[in-house]
């Protein structure tokens, strides 16, 4: 059984763009398994996409091939990359979407190749005509070398990485999830062994630190979410209803 292709895009589910990626994979190999991580990345939001790509990759088996398309620059000169992290593989535009997947991979294992855009690709839909076919070829057994030329590593988004500032980490909200939890760019690994004691943002803050949603009382709390990022959460309603930070907001994570 070949490895699966896992789709992650900002296409939404109201159009047929997302479905077209399945068709495009099957035009390469009709026996491939193609499933969806999400098509709900906010349109053009590369930082949120980078977070969701990492979170998905944590859940899927070794060898899975992600086809990640959050690509506001379709039609411009940005490169198309195929990377192998040693755990998963991914085809994506070189615009920062690979920030976490690449930077958190074992540097002795990771590889990067630049994929050529095929003649005849629609100038408006590289997902269907470039990314999905390349991902399908990897899933069907091709090596990175078979689908592109070894190239410079992916660009990384500065904003994806928290900065240490005294007894705090300065990050921002990478994504607000369906339940209203504000997931920040601050990672457990960034804490360097320090203890989480709270968070501050423009207009609000909390000193409540918990392990599970069930422990949150009536207010806001910080916890480490299931992909290892610090988040600001409330229980039974979106955090913003209680003054929690919005998508993109700067967040100061307090340490002790």
Q: Please report how the helices 132-139 and 17-28 are oriented relative to each other, as an axis angle in degrees rounded to 10.
A: 40
Q: How far is the CB of 89 from its own copies (least distance, A)?
A: 14
Q: What is the DSSP string of 19-78?
A: HHHHHHHHHH-TT--EEEEES-SPTT-HHHHHHHHHHHHHHSPTT-EEEEE--TTTTSS-
Residues contacting its own copies: total by CB under 8 A: 65
Interface with its own copies includes 120 (CB under 8 A)? no
Distance CA 242, CA 230 (A): 18
Nearest residue to 105 (alpha-carbon basis) of 159, 157, 66, 58: 58
Q: From edge to edge, which strands make up the β-sheet containing 111-115? A: 34-38, 5-9, 65-69, 89-93, 80-84, 111-115, 149-150
What lies within 8 Å, CB to CB, of 127 at 6+ separation is 9, 11, 17, 20, 21, 24, 67, 69, 71
Q: Does 208 bind its own copies (CB under 8 A)?
A: no
- What the block records as the tokens of 67 is 């086809």
Among 108, 119, 120, 123, binds its own copies (CB under 8 A): 123
Report, in Å, the least distance between residue 110 CB and its own copies. Answer: 20
CB of 165 to its own copies, least distance (A): 27
Provide, rounded to whole angstroms, the least separation between the CB of residue 198 and its own copies. 18
Q: Which residue(s) pair with 165 in the sheet? A: 168
Near its own copies by CB under 8 A: residue from 109, 116, 118, 122: 122
Per CB under 8 A, contacts with its own copies among 170-199 are: 175, 177-179
- The percent of the chain in helix, strand and coil, each rounded to the nearest 5, is 25, 30, 45
Q: How far is the C-alpha of 189 from the C-alpha of 43, rounded, in Å?
A: 29
Give yes or no for residue 98 binding its own copies (CB under 8 A).
no
Residue 229 found at the interface with its own copies (CB under 8 A): no
Among 46, 50, 56, 201, binds its own copies (CB under 8 A): 56
The two tokens of residue 97 are 């979407």
Using rule CB under 8 A, residue 150 touches its own copies: no
Nearer of residues 81 and 227 to its own copies, judged by Cβ: 227
101 touches its own copies (CB under 8 A):
no
- In the complex, the smallest distance separating the C-beta of residue 2 from its own copies, rounded to whole angstroms, is 10
The reply on whether position 18 binds its own copies by CB under 8 A is: yes
Give the residue, chosen from 47, 50, 52, 90, that forms a contact with its own copies under the rule CB under 8 A. 52
For its own copies, which residue of 79, 89, 110, 128 counts as binding (CB under 8 A)? 128
- Binder among 73, 86, 118, 217 for its own copies (CB under 8 A): 73
Interface residues with its own copies (CB under 8 A) are: 1, 4, 6, 8, 10-24, 26-27, 30-31, 34-41, 43-44, 52, 55-56, 58-61, 64, 72-76, 122-125, 128, 175, 177-179, 211-215, 223, 225-226, 235-236
């Amino acid at each position: 059984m070949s490895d699966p292709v896992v789709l992650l895009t900002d296409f939404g589910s109201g159009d047929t763009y997302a479905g077209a990626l399945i068709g495009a994979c099957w035009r390469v190999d009709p026996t491939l398994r193609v499933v969806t991580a999400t098509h709900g990345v906010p349109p053009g939001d590369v930082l949120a996409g980078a977070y969701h790509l990492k979170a998905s990759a944590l859940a899927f088996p070794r060898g899975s091939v992600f086809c990640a398309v959050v690509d506001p620059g379709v039609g411009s000169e940005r490169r198309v990359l195929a990377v192998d992290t040693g755990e998963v593989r991914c085809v994506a535009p070189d615009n920062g979407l690979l920030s976490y997947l690449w930077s958190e991979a074992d540097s002795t294992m990771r590889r990067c190749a630049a994929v050529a855009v095929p003649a005849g690709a629609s100038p408006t839909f590289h997902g269907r005509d470039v990314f999905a076919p390349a991902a399908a070829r990897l899933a069907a057994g091709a090596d990175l070398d078979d689908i592109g030329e070894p190239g410079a590593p992916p660009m990384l988004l500065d904003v994806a990485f928290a900065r240490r500032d005294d007894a705090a980490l300065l990050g921002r909200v990478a994504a607000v999830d369906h339940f209203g939890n504000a997931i920040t760019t601050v990672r457990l690994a960034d804490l360097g062994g320090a203890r989480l004691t709270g968070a501050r943002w423009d207009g609000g803050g909390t000193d409540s630190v918990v392990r599970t949603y069930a422990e949150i009382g009536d207010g806001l709390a910080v916890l480490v979410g299931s992909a290892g990022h610090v988040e600001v959460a409330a229980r039974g309603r979106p955090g913003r209803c209680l003054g929690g930070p919005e998508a993109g907001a700067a967040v100061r994570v307090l340490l002790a």
